[in-house]
A = this chain, B = another copy of it.
């Protein structure tokens, strides 16, 4: 049945290549000569589409003459998505495909579409119709049904999807492979994706960097937001760094735009598809309804745009145009009188867009059934002559006008807040410094033996520039006391037992030890309490005074590799429950960016009028941790808590750390 659907769809969309039905039971199908098998076809096949039962597929592949077929699309389901039996079939299918040097989309894909050539190899109902808007959007979707629903909904909104790929089970080609192959094409301007599971972290980063270098946006909708971090996680990092948080950190780092839902995705696509690139994020908001203007302003600021006031020259021009009681500001409230004058509305928007003070504009049109046609013409003309992006919020256009707004030369979204929010997101994206691919220094792998002992760990940390307190790893009370006496200040005494998980709870730490007697009591007490684990000695550390406590952690994500995280430290970790994150390697300037948001920014800025703390030393430490993570792949997690950050210029010290293999 699937094959019949595909054949009909390809003919309906006037595929401009040859279609060769293959089915041993028929001499012809739908007027086309039918082949008994692939081997009977004369010449090479670019794409073979399979819609046969899962159980017979492997045999069909094995029967393909070597080199005859370049790639296949498997629509058939009944593979890994149905359980162990299907997974076995899928495994055999992959083996068969690899043996023939064939690349595969699927199985369990609803199809692939390239409307430019009429290649509509899909069983989706979305392509039952052929009256699609033209456009340069490519969608790669890990859900066939939801993906085609997005296409259909987008088409109803006037969005032109040129490519659609349902990735299916991704047994061979994955989301990232397919997206990379699309984004480099000249006829793709925006790539969007529906994602459940990024299987190929390095490939995804490569895709994002490719997109950035081509100045093409990637907009994704990713499911799985509420999936909590593993409850059984052994460290804070483990508990706080869930897989969705990691994906978000990757999106943030590589300027991938994440939509909150399908509606938001379509709104963002409209902005990127239909408005020119912005040079900055200064937004002018023009409205004939005070309310709509304020709502738009709220949303734009929230999404990161700035709303500068009009400069004097612009003010003068607007004052001349508008009634005395208009509010000449940003948002500009032209008042209700303007709603009856299309040319006035367009002209106010033009005045603001022509000013150097603005990079983009939003016009809020509340309800103007009477002047709609004129306004559309004026705005189409403006879009043609203006190289800055603008969006229009147009509530409830007339039935006659609605279809014409869908093909307007500018993006239209009904709600003012949503229009302004989506445009602001575009401005922020386009004015962000492009994330350049970093040359990763080939690191030297940290020897496993070194990570297994306390003295080895200390040596590694020192080598990677992660400052520890002055300390001695004592194996006798004499050694310990010699250190304390020389320091002549209170010390902390800690068991050095790398395999002990909860050192404090086990009674392995005594703080503020200020005399020889106290040290002896602490030393002996600790050794008496800690049993049944390897003990490397007892650490005697100086106590670190003034400073703030910061948490620095690392978790190795199975998809994206080491992720470095930071937040307020000590006992504040649980209180905040949220960390700034970035994939390794993190250079010091990137680490500074991690520290730039609340609450770390407030903490480091020396809040409460106090002095500022050594932000650059902390950034360097975070960077160093990220390089250590890359060079010590057997470490699953690292945790430095607290890192005491001292006043500016005095550096920072990792007072305590924990490694998790």
Name the residue of chain B whose CB is nearest to the CB of A78.
B325
Q: Is the CB of A324 within 8 A of B82?
A: yes
The 8 A CB mask of A296-309 against B (1 = contact, 0 = none) is 01110110000000
| Shortest Cβ gap from A218 to chain B (Å) | 18
Specify which chain B residues have a CB less than 8 angstroms from the CB of A155 in the assembled complex.
396
* Alpha-carbon gap, A145 to B577, bound state (A): 43
Given contacts A298-B226, A367-B124, contact A292 B599 (CB under 8 A): no
Name the residue of chain B whose CB is nearest to the CB of A259.
B417
Given contacts A196-B294, A223-B295, contact A149 B602 (CB under 8 A): no
Stretch at the interface among A56-64, A452-460, A493-501, A603-611: A603-611
Q: Could you tell me which residues of chain A, from 289 to 330, have a CB within 8 Å of some CB in chain B?
A: 289-292, 294-295, 297-299, 301-302, 324-325
Q: Is the CB of A224 within 8 A of B602?
A: no
* Alpha-carbon gap, A324 to B83, bound state (A): 10
* Alpha-carbon gap, A110 to B290, bound state (A): 13
Q: Could you tell me which residues of chain A, from 601 to 625, have a CB within 8 Å of some CB in chain B?
A: 602-603, 607-609
Q: Is the CB of A148 within 8 A of B366?
A: yes
Stretch at the interface among A378-386, A567-575, A645-653: A567-575
| Shortest Cβ gap from A145 to chain B (Å) | 3
Specify which chain B residues have a CB less than 8 angstroms from the CB of A421 in the assembled complex.
261
Decide yes or no whether A408 CB sits under 8 A from chain B: no
Name the residue of chain B whose CB is nearest to the CB of A291.
B143
Q: Is the CB of A81 within 8 A of B607?
A: no
Specify which chain B residues have a CB less than 8 angstroms from the CB of A149 in the assembled complex.
289, 292, 366-367, 395-396
Decide yes or no whether A356 CB sits under 8 A from chain B: no
Q: Is the CB of A110 within 8 A of B415?
A: no
Given contacts A292-B145, A292-B146, contact A302 B226 (CB under 8 A): yes
Decide yes or no whether A434 CB sits under 8 A from chain B: no
* Alpha-carbon gap, A226 to B110, bound state (A): 44
The 8 A CB mask of A123-149 against B (1 = contact, 0 = none) is 011101000000000000111111111
Q: Is the CB of B226 within 8 A of A297?
A: yes
Decide yes or no whether A153 CB sits under 8 A from chain B: yes
Q: Which of B226, B295, B608 contacts A221 (CB 8 A)?
A: B295
Q: Which of B125, B291, B577, B603 contacts A142 (CB 8 A)?
A: B291
Q: Which of B153, B368, B607 contacts A575 (CB 8 A)?
A: B607
Name the residue of chain B whose CB is nearest to the CB of A263.
B415
Specify which chain B residues have a CB less than 8 angstroms from the CB of A395 in the assembled complex.
146, 149-150, 152-153, 262
| Shortest Cβ gap from A202 to chain B (Å) | 24
Q: Could you tell me which residues of chain A, from 551 to 588, have a CB within 8 Å of some CB in chain B?
A: 568, 571-572, 574-577
Q: Could you tell me which residues of chain A, from 12 to 53, have a CB within 8 Å of some CB in chain B?
A: none
| Shortest Cβ gap from A130 to chain B (Å) | 13
Name the residue of chain B whose CB is nearest to the CB of A338.
B145
Q: Which of B153, B194, B291, B603 contacts A147 (CB 8 A)?
A: B291
Decide yes or no whether A339 CB sits under 8 A from chain B: yes
Q: Is the CB of A153 within 8 A of B396?
A: yes
Q: Which of B295, B298, B575 contacts A568 (CB 8 A)?
A: B575
Decide yes or no whether A464 CB sits under 8 A from chain B: no
Q: Is the CB of B415 within 8 A of A291?
A: no
Q: Is the CB of B418 within 8 A of A261?
A: yes
Given contacts A145-B291, A576-B599, A608-B571, contact A261 B415 (CB under 8 A): yes
Q: Is the CB of A143 within 8 A of B289?
A: yes
Name the residue of chain B whose CB is nearest to the CB of A143.
B291
| Shortest Cβ gap from A281 to chain B (Å) | 15
Q: Is the CB of B301 within 8 A of A226?
A: yes
Decide yes or no whether A448 CB sits under 8 A from chain B: no
Decide yes or no whether A4 CB sits under 8 A from chain B: no
Q: Is the CB of A609 within 8 A of B505?
A: yes
Given contacts A124-B367, A395-B150, contact A145 B288 (CB under 8 A): yes
Give chain A's interface residues, CB within 8 Å of chain B.
Answer: 77-78, 81-83, 86, 110, 124-126, 128, 141-150, 152-153, 155-156, 194, 196, 221, 223-226, 260-263, 288-292, 294-295, 297-299, 301-302, 324-325, 336, 339, 366-370, 395-396, 414-418, 421, 505, 568, 571-572, 574-577, 598-599, 602-603, 607-609
Other than A145-B290, A226-B298, A574-B607, give 9 A-B pairs with Cβ distance below 8 A: A81-B325, A126-B396, A128-B369, A145-B288, A145-B367, A146-B366, A149-B395, A260-B417, A261-B421
Which 3 residue pairs of A and B lie closest in terms of their CB atoms, listed nearest first?
Answer: A143-B291, A145-B289, A152-B396
